[in-house]
Amino acid sequence: MPRLIRLAAAAALACASPALADPHPDASRVLSLGGAVTEIVHALGQQDRLVGRDTTSSFPPEVLALPDVGYVRALSSEGVLSVQPDLILSEEGAGPPETIALLQEAGIPFETIPEGHDAEGLARKVEAVAEALGVPDAAGPVIEEIRADLARVEQANAGGGQKKRVLFILSLQGGRVMAGGEGSGADAIIRLAGAENAVSGFQGYKPMTDEAVTAAAPDVILMMQRGDAQADSDHNASLAELAAMPALAVTPAVRDGAVVTMDGLLLLGFGPRTGAAALELHDAIYGAGS
């Protein structure tokens, strides 16, 4: 069955229109907005064209030497224009809308790269970046590597057995659990890793009541770290801190000390490392070698 699913996905991708973005082969000053987009530019071998990045773009490490124009969803036109881009590649959701409108009015080519959490969506994302940069032929090897990584995850998931229930906690601000529900990136990576999202009934990321957290009864709690002290204080917590919260203290995850923390961009970026991220998460949930 998994092979049939892969073949169906490949067939659907082959039938899709390849023109996912307008080509800009002569663009030499490219600004990348979104960690996954920046990673894809590097994977395509086009990193020498980058002149700037957003705050979420932190991999590979060499991108940190590029000017940071701000958070992708809270951009200023001044910050973006300061790097004098002749092409902007952006993940979906960049903003605020008035800033994006000003940039487009300035005549700077602005290409929005489609979001995607599964094999087909990731392939479309890579193809869109390659198309925009005018190097469509470079997409193939990157997509094949992603598919090979996802195949390894699929093999790791083939062991069967009871799926563990994972609660992704985006933040604990104010003592309330902000969790990843259906349709979120957290939901997608949990499922890719062969586990089950412990929460359902809502879309995206929303706060949960204490009663709902306890009722979710997760086997594993998943959190992320971003490398920034302030951001990590909002998005990450120690086992002792989780155990101090009554709603979480009674869950199997906290009782068993089953708390997994991963790099935020690796976990939720959905770029070329997605398969590696899912495999790392699988091993953390079920134990390496299972």
Among the three residues 109, 133, 154, which one is the final residue of a domain in this structure?
154
| CA angle centred on 21, ends 17 and 24, rounded to 5° | 135
Identify the pLDDT of residue 227. 59
Among the three residues 119, 154, 189, which one is the final residue of a domain in this structure?
154
| Structural domain contains residue 180 | yes
Q: What is the pLDDT of residues 217-268, one digit of tens each?
A: 999 999 998 655 444 445 678 999 999 999 999 999 999 999 999 999 999 9
Model confidence band, residue 31 (pLDDT cutoffs 50, 70, 90): very high
Looking at the fold, whether 24 and 81 belong to one and the same domain comes out as yes
| Structural domain contains residue 159 | no
User: 13: burial class by Cβ within 10 Å (0-12, 13-18, 19+)?
Assistant: middle
Tokens of 222: 């998943």
Q: 130 and 24 in contact (C-beta within 8 Å)? A: no
**Domain of residue 14, CATH code:** 3.40.50.1980
| Structural domain contains residue 112 | yes
Looking at the fold, whether 142 and 170 belong to one and the same domain comes out as no
Among the three residues 134, 154, 174, which one is the final residue of a domain in this structure?
154
Looking at the fold, whether 10 and 134 belong to one and the same domain comes out as yes
Tokens of 243: 């155990």
| CA angle centred on 285, ends 201 and 193, rounded to 5° | 65
* Domain hosting residue 98, numbered range: 2-154
Looking at the fold, whether 148 and 170 belong to one and the same domain comes out as no
Identify the pLDDT of residue 160. 72
Looking at the fold, whether 218 and 268 belong to one and the same domain comes out as yes
Phi-psi region of 262 (alpha: psi -120 to 50; beta: other; left: phi over 0): beta
Identify the pLDDT of residue 236. 75
Looking at the fold, whether 170 and 245 belong to one and the same domain comes out as yes
Looking at the fold, whether 136 and 216 belong to one and the same domain comes out as no
Q: What is the pLDDT of residues 177-225, one digit of tens each?
A: 999 999 999 999 999 999 999 999 999 999 999 999 999 999 999 999 8
Model confidence band, residue 17 (pLDDT cutoffs 50, 70, 90): very low
Rounded-to-integer distance, Cα 200 and Cα 129, Å: 33
Identify the pLDDT of residue 192. 97
| Structural domain contains residue 36 | yes
Alpha-carbon dihedral sign for residues 48, 53, 56, 61:
positive
Q: 143 and 125 in contact (C-beta within 8 Å)? A: no
Contacts of 256 (CB under 8 A, 6+ apart): 219
* DSSP bridge partners of 261: 223
Q: What percent of the chain has pLDDT over 90?
A: 84
What is the number of structural domains in the chain? 2
- Stated length of the chain: 290
| Structural domain contains residue 52 | yes
Q: What is the pLDDT of residues 51-84, one digit of tens each?
A: 999 999 999 999 999 999 999 999 999 999 999 9
